[in-house]
Each structure stands twice: as structure tokens, then as C-alpha cells.
Amino acid sequence: MISDLLEELDSEVSKCISCGFCESVCPTLPAAGYDLWKGARGRVIMGRELLSSVQNHGSLNVSDSFYSCLDCHACLYVCPAGVNAGKVSHLSKSVIAGNGISGNRNPLAEMMASVTMRYMNPLGIREKCAEWFQGMEVDTGSGDLLYTGNMYQLMAYTHGMNRLREKIGKGMSRRMSSLISRFPWLIKLAPMKRDETASRRMDQSLSNIALLLRKSGISFNYLGKEEPYPGTFIYDLGYLNLFREYAGKVAKILRDSGAKRIITIDPHTYDLLKNVYPEYVEDFGIEVVHYLDLIEGSAFKGGNENITYHEPCHFSLREQAYNRPLETLRSVASVNLPPRSGRRTKCCGGPDELLFPELTHKISQNRYEELQETTPQKIVTACPICFSNLNKGPEVIEIGDYLVSKLKN
């Protein structure tokens, strides 16, 4: 496995011609004070060094360079040689995770992977993630399964975790994370405080998504407290052997539910199940759609409200761009896009929030200001991570909430 990763890493970094075009679009580079090693070109250079270090049995501390990568893929679309620094970072994290390179493993990443493997949720809170659905009815006989992947629900805990880290200090935080990674049951004793305002907002967004589906005549099943997290962190942090095992367990739960079609609601889960699961789960074979694919446009009132849409990376910057959110918004409002849009859209910084909260704050603030420059009445996002990080003013709204406000009745 490691030899295959090293071969793939070698193939990717060997294409780099060091032109620096990637640095012009990398969100983390300016946010890191133009620290070369936290930019796209620096990550490719570090990938070469990591490759050499492993091949020559050396020791090189390079993890912050790769773990700070947002995996947004913006660099790929400006690179004349077709190098994807995000892929270099992912391969490098996978080498670090699989090879146990001294000094490079991130304690918080280890904790998230360990807790997820035990509880099928990165914070061990599957039951709490189902609370939004209390009192609602499901169609247990439906072949459509609404799959939240716990993503909206987890957003209410990220800010609380960062506040706790600030309070106890980085050193104590790393020691606590290392301890929980060895004994994942300790997560149940950790002070996991959620932001109650954020929790209510996210629960309302989930309820609105369910309402939009019902208004379009879609009946669906939902697994409630049995719903597993899809494993996004495990995959993104490079624990590929664990991810293969974990994805197999999730796929079995989904199959056993009788699902013929999985309705996802966020970009990360949609991308993971549609494009990654088939590579890691033999005969995955379940259709994956986004809920907006099923929404009837005739249910909405037209309008000329001036809105700006922030495109999530996992929709716009993947090989097959997914533009349904933009198409839907254009049917109900006058939509503006910021200068960085489409294949040049700029990440909100969210994927770095747990490991590098300072970087996330700077990136999200910069993106929020860019969106505000379009002078919109509303700034609409289509991702809970984007919403959580760009929610710096009352004009920011999640797409499901916005569409509910446009329903005819």
C-alpha cells in the first residue's frame, strides 16, 4: 500500500515546473502570512522532500504543510502542468498515516479517526445528531433514504472545541487528543459543549430540507440515531486503510436499510459517496443524489432579489462540477457571483477549522469581505461548513432556508 502511495506521489510531484501559478489562487498562503510551506507550491516541494525522506529512511517534520491544505483543488485549474497540490497533500497525509513517520502524526487527527472508528461519529454523538428529527414521520418502506451524514449537526460543536483548546492551551489539547486516540471511550467524558444558537439554526436548516423534499412529493426513510457519519475526516486525513474498513461498515448499514437511492444534503458527503465510495467499497451500487436534484422548481415564486452565491469547493472544483444549486437559485432570484467563482471559486477555509482555526478565521473573513463587495441583499451558501464559517452577518443564509422562504404556499 505504501509503495503504491509513494509511486503515485512521485508521479504527481514530478510534473511540477515550479512556475508558482498555483500560489496566486491558494487560500492558505496569504492567510499564513505567505509562509511558503503553507501554500500550494510549497506543498508540492514538501511532497518531494517527504518522498526522499521515506525512500532514504530519514526523518522530516512536514505535517503542518499538508494538514493545512484545504483540499479545495483551486491550484489544479491554474497549473499549466496539471499538478494538483491538494492530491499531493492527500497522498502525503496517507503516507504519514500509513508509515508512522516520527513527529508528523497529528494528535487531533488521530483522535478523530479513532473515535469515528469506535462510535461511527467523530465526536461520539450519533444520538444527539438525530434530535432535529423528533416528531417527524418517515416512510420506512421508501427506497429513498435521507442521509444527513451528521454534517450539519457537527457544526455546532466546532467553535466550542476551539474555545476549549484556547482555554486549556495547545500543549494540553495535544496531550488530551493523544490520550483519547488511544482510549476513544474517553470522548464521552470530554466537555463537548455545543453552540446552542448554531445548533438551532442547523436543526432548522435540516427541517427545511425535509420540508422541501415533501413539498416535491418525495417520501423518505431516515435512520435517526442509527445514522452513521460517512467517514469524511478519516478519508481527508489520509487514513486510507481505516477508511476502506469504515466505508464498508457504512455501506452495509445503508444497504441493510433497504435504500435504493441515497439523498445527500451537503457537498462533502455527496462527493464522498458518489465519487470515493465506489473506489473503496466493492459493488457499492447505490444511487447517490443531492436533494436539490429532486426539488420541483414549480414550487417556488420567482423574484428579483439581489443575492450572491458562494460556491462550495466540493461542488465547483471537482472533476465533474455540480451546478444544480446555482441553477435553482437563478430560477428564484437575481444571482451574482464574486470574481473568484466557478473553477476559480475560493474556499471558505472551513476544512482547516479544527486543526488550524487561526487560518480558517483569516480565510473566511477574507472570503466574506469579497462576497460583501458584490453588495447583495443575501449571501447564499450550499454547505453547512461554508455557512458556519461565513456566517458573519445577518445577510448570510443557507440555500435550503432561502428556498423555503420562496415557496408559493
What is the chain's mean pLDDT, rounded?
90
Q: CA–CA separation, 25 vs 366, rounded Å?
A: 13
For residue 128, the number of C-alpha atoms closer than 13 Å in the C-beta half-sphere is: 21
Residue with cell 469504515: 246
Report the pLDDT value the prediction gives residue 94, as an integer from 0 to 100: 87
In the chain, CATH 1.10.1060.10 sits at 2-102
Show the low-confidence residues of the chain (pLDDT under 70). 1, 56-61, 99-104
Report residue 194: phi and psi, to 5°. -105, 155
- Is CATH 1.10.1060.10 correct for 2-102? yes
**Interval 221-275: pLDDT, tens:** 999 999 999 999 999 999 999 999 999 999 999 999 999 999 999 999 999 999 9
Mention the CATH class of domain 300-404.
alpha beta
Kindly list the strands in the beta sheet with 287-290, ordered across the sheet, starting from the edge strand earlier in the chain.
144-147, 261-264, 287-290
Report the pLDDT value the prediction gives residue 99, as an integer from 0 to 100: 66
Q: Collapse the DSSP code of 379 into the 3-class scheme (helix H, G, I; strand E, B; otherwise coil) and give the result.
A: strand
Closest Cα partner for 379 from 362, 360, 402, 361? 402
pTM comes to 0.92
Where are any strands of DSSP class E within 39-147? 144-147
Q: CA–CA separation, 193 vs 156, rounded Å?
A: 9
Q: CA–CA separation, 242 vs 333, rounded Å?
A: 44
Q: CA–CA separation, 108 vs 106, rounded Å?
A: 6
Report the pLDDT value the prediction gives residue 52, as an integer from 0 to 100: 77
Q: Are 363 and 347 in contact (CB under 8 A)?
A: yes
Q: Cell triple for residue 89?
A: 497533500
In the chain, CATH 3.40.50 sits at 300-404
Q: CA–CA separation, 148 vs 126, rounded Å?
A: 11
Report the pLDDT value the prediction gives residue 59, as an integer from 0 to 100: 61
Q: CA–CA separation, 209 vs 227, rounded Å?
A: 17
Q: Which residues pair with 7 in a beta bridge?
A: none
Q: Find the radius of gyration of the CA atoms of the chain.
A: 21
